[in-house]
Amino acid sequence: MNQTFQKNITLKPRERGFHLITNEVLQQIPELDKIDAGVAHIFIQHTSASLTINENADPSVRRDFETHFNRMVPEDTDLFEHTHEGPDDMTSHIKTSMLGSSVTIPITNGRFNMGRWQGIYLCEHRNYGKRRKLIITVTGS
């Protein structure tokens, strides 16, 4: 029997950087254990934070991501017109467009079927992050 459900969840505020949120997401969707085979689509409802899947073990990977993106998109207000909310305003939008606003994860036997070293990142691009809202849609049988 096919099942579909959707949940809105809110993540706690985090400082700027790349943060593992896999466990926080899983804690809020206990219904996942009823899905034998399916897919989870996770979408962030913001334009200054993004989602990605990457290394879940070594924290230096997250620091290197932050360093790289800050060099690639510097907070130089002379480069951007849209700086109404500060020097991290337009840079946050650019970084979000580069990384994306959603991830899709296969579900097998009631669990996310990711690689051993993979985790879901909240990529907070603002200097002072806020609570971030996610929509999780799960479809499966």
Percent of the chain past pLDDT 70, that is, above it, reads: 100
pLDDT of residue 136: 98
Residue 49 predicted with pLDDT over 90: yes
1 falls in which pLDDT band (50, 70, 90)?
Answer: confident
Average the pLDDT over 22-32 and give the result.
97
pLDDT of residue 77: 85
Other beta carbons less than 10 A from residue 86's beta carbon: 14
- Count each helix (H run) and each strand (E run) in the chain, helices first: 3, 8
In the chain, what are the domains?
A: 3-140 (2.60.120.460)
Q: Is 22 left (phi over 0), alpha (psi -120 to 50) or beta?
A: alpha
